[in-house]
Structure 1
Amino acid sequence: MTTTDGVLKVALLGCGVVGSEVVRLLAEQADELAQRVGARLELAGVAVRRPARHPEVPAELLTTDAEALVRRDDVDVVVEVVGGIEPVRSLLLAALESGKSVVSANKALLADDGATLHDAATRNGVDLYYEAAVAGAIPLLRPLRESLAGDRITRVMGIVNGTTNFILSRMDATGAGFDEALAEATSLGYAEADPTADVDGYDAAAKAAILAGLAFHTRVTMSDVHREGIGEVTAADVASAQAMDCTVKLLAICERTTVADGTESVSVRAHPAMIPRRHPLAGVGDAFNAVFVEAEAAGSLMFYGRGAGGAPTASAVLGDLVAVARNRVSGSRGAGESAYAALPIRSMGEVTTRYHVALDVADQPGVLAGVANAFAEEGVSIQTVRQEGRGDAATLVLVTHAATDAALGRTVEKLAAMSLVGRAASVMRVEGMTGE
């Protein structure tokens, strides 16, 4: 559908921190945006729950009836910055089914049921863009979907949650424990009053699902992602990482694996891991995000910047809005979903990586031999061992060569049953090391 009067009407769902920035930028940059698009972008309405709380929006644009707004005949594009699953999914489906393009920042919905939205967009010949759903202002999804469309991506690994990165960065810099670092993040506004989605890894897992789908041309949902949070990361873990010249990060990791017979599969996970300080991601501090992409022809690429916040996220929303609006003006459609590969998802037990294992053991002869034998029985090769004595007790710190998650899990179970092993004080994956 093309504009006939030089104006494209935009419906905005939500006007919180990001939405209010979208309203501001649309007004302040109206003339420039018109030049870039080839038509003026005008707000048709802004759907909110409490209009009285939004004095920054002209009163005549505010409405509490989001469904009526998205179904209006004069609306060309719907921009959604509400979040959550319902009623947003129904609202966006209504918009797509009525021929309106959609720009969304909703990582949870896209990771949960992006396929339904993509199908509706394809069926109705409209666009579904969502750059702001992952890594804020960082241009990441469109390069994966378009710029690298001629390449074969093998791995995507990144820091995609600013809250957890701030917490782990403070733990690394100051020696603070998790609770202390979380309190600091909350006081500075980096963490929400309820930080569960961030610290328990849900946010990173949703973003990992989106990244994997784009990178590997395969539909990946939140249920396919192995998820672990950072709540169990201790100051001792961070100190142990430092002793290895590593740091701890919450990573989203998406990998394409090819076995000997040529069969391919995909693994997707989000969890804390130790990475060497020489790795490009190790130097990403505070609330910044960065994603490392490995492709066969392009080699290694890294995307870095502010991954959250009103203005950075609104920048990504406006970028999508300009792209979608240009397509409306020209009567065309942008790149849609590419899920032709439909690769199977590997279970976490099949995933191979290195591990850091700290064991509380009795300081007696034969303990190390027994521990080494437990690893050997499961085919897990030990790279390094360090022992720290504490009188009658000691801590064994082992780093393995690459092994499957299932094999490591069985090894830890055997160790726990040994009389001379008190407990596995820490088990953490080690990523980004050469020679695995």
Structure 2
Amino acid sequence: MTWGNATGGTPKPVRVALLGCGTVGTEVVRLLREQATDLAARVGAPVELTGIGVRRPNKHRGQVPAELLTTDAAALVDSDVDVVVEVIGGIEPARTLLVTALRAGKSVVTANKALLAEHGAELFAAADASGADLYFEAAVAGAIPLLRPLRESLAGDRITRVMGIVNGTTNYILSAMDSTGAGYAETLEEASRLGYAEADPTADVDGYDAASKAAILASLAFHTRVTAADVHREGIASVTAADIAAAKAIDRTVKLLAICERVTHADGRESVSARVHPAMIPRSHPLAGVGGAFNAVFVEADAAGQLMFYGRGAGGAPTASAVLGDLVAAARNRVVAGRGPRESAYADLPAQPMGQVSTRYHISLDVADRAGVLAQVAAVFAEHDVSIAAVRQEGRVNDASLVIVTHGASDAALRSTVDKIGGLPVVREVVSVMRVEGEQP
């Protein structure tokens, strides 16, 4: 394939269609215009934005060139373009538009984590059938170069674990609760006022956003197709000021973590565990110091050891930076007739149910202040084969506070233990239950 002028003249432009022009899309347009000369040099040909598909053109007039705006996204995808950049989000119409583009041999750059987590296999199949590229660095952790290292730099290594903070909204809320002692509801309200939380924060605070990202991370890290349905998901709405205070009392903090693990069983079988939930981590852990709306991800590999990726995980400019990086790669491949990395799902490992995942728990109880209480509680742990790592008890006038930290055990066993403890006559209330991460089991 010869992309440039056969006589050595100006190379043929790489024509780009942009779907969506919200916060990220507007920044993509700005960067394309401001950095046109540098982008052309990096790509080896001019990068030409030919159209922007939007629902309400009047909303964007004055922000981007009006002549580029169109409400007919399907016609824009079907036009003579080389790369389709999608930043509209959601499943439809994004899925239909991108599958159409890929089947037609057009390269795709997307920031759509929900679409990839639900329909990634379909997108990769369409890309493979036509030889088109599919890039999606911006789908996880904004500007942080994370997916490309998993996909390419660590392709020769065996990744065993990926753990991190991948949602800025929830991290801002939990960081603020930790620093102020405020409750969840008032902190969420403040986050909304400051623009850190959406008008409808459900996708963030209920863990859907992080679960989609965990599915993508697990798929890349473990060469296995993992969907959002394979990810155990818990949000932060149930995290209380008492949970935060309990964590502080033992020099820990609470974070919403995405945890993806390659699990080797006693019989040699392997499976993939992917989960999103709040957890206590030691304040000495590098993730504990990640505050505000920042993201950070720990990657553990056999040869490379521990790697940490940190930076702004959201926002127009940071996400647009990742989109432009992918666009340069896709456009360069067009110029030199190259291809980007394909889907790697050869391992095809099964998903491990959450009940089988080994976890640790921090359990805070209000109990009657009399002899034999600890023995009764400990008997329930022994009954479920859950080992106690530490116990702290403080007496008050008529009752006492009992805090127990367990060793690692199956999540199902720990949940059953907590349920039975809550029914003991000597237990007035199960005040707080939180998983513990970032330490040896």
Instruction: Say whether the fold is shared (TM-score over 0.5).
Output: yes
Match for residue 345 of structure 2 among 324, 339, 347: 339
Q: Is 1:60 equivalent to 2:67 in the alignment? A: yes
Q: Is 1:146 equivalent to 2:152 in the alignment? A: yes
Q: Is 1:280 equivalent to 2:281 in the alignment? A: no
Listed one character per residue, the Cα deviations across residues 168-190 of structure 1 (whole Å, up to 9, x for unaligned) are 11111111111121122111111
Q: Is 1:429 equivalent to 2:438 in the alignment? A: no
Letter in 1 for 2:229: S
**Aligned counterparts, 1:35-434, within 5 A:** 35-55=41-61, 56-72=63-79, 74-434=80-440
Aligned partners of 1:291, 1:391: CA distance in 2, in Å? 45
Note the aligned Cα RMSD (angstroms). Answer: 1.0
Q: Percent identity?
A: 73
- The unaligned stretches of length 5 or more in structure 1 are none
Letter in 2 for 1:3: W
Aligned partners of 1:405, 1:60: CA distance in 2, in Å? 57
For the 8 Å contact 1:358–1:398, the answer to whether it is kept is yes
SS of 2:287's equivalent in the other structure is: helix
SS of 2:402's equivalent in the other structure is: strand
For the 8 Å contact 1:2–1:328, the answer to whether it is kept is no
SS of 1:189's equivalent in the other structure is: coil
Distance 1:15 1:246, change over 3 A: same
SS of 1:239's equivalent in the other structure is: helix
Listed one character per residue, the Cα deviations across residues 296-343 of structure 1 (whole Å, up to 9, x for unaligned) are 000000000000000000000000000011111111111111000000
Aligned partners of 2:372, 2:118: CA distance in 1, in Å? 50
Length-normalised TM-score, structure 1? 0.98
Aligned partners of 1:32, 1:245: CA distance in 2, in Å? 48
Deviation at 1:2? 5.4
Aligned partners of 1:134, 1:98: CA distance in 2, in Å? 26
Task: Determine the structure 1 residue equivalent to 2:12.
Answer: 6
SS of 1:3's equivalent in the other structure is: coil
Deviation at 1:79? 0.1
- The unaligned stretches of length 5 or more in structure 2 are 5-10
SS of 2:144's equivalent in the other structure is: coil
For the 8 Å contact 1:6–1:38, the answer to whether it is kept is no
Aligned partners of 1:390, 1:94: CA distance in 2, in Å? 67
Aligned partners of 1:392, 1:27: CA distance in 2, in Å? 70
Listed one character per residue, the Cα deviations across residues 64-89 of structure 1 (whole Å, up to 9, x for unaligned) are 000010011x2000000000001110
Aligned partners of 1:389, 1:120: CA distance in 2, in Å? 64
Letter in 2 for 1:62: L
Length-normalised TM-score, structure 2? 0.97
Deviation at 1:423? 2.9
Aligned partners of 1:246, 1:409: CA distance in 2, in Å? 21
SS of 1:229's equivalent in the other structure is: coil
Letter in 2 for 1:367: V
Task: Determine the structure 1 residue equivalent to 2:8.
Answer: none
Aligned partners of 1:199, 1:210: CA distance in 2, in Å? 19
Listed one character per residue, the Cα deviations across residues 135-184 of structure 1 (whole Å, up to 9, x for unaligned) are 00000000000000000000000000001101111111111111121122
Deviation at 1:390? 3.4
Moved more, 343-352 or 422-431: 422-431
Deviation at 1:386? 1.3
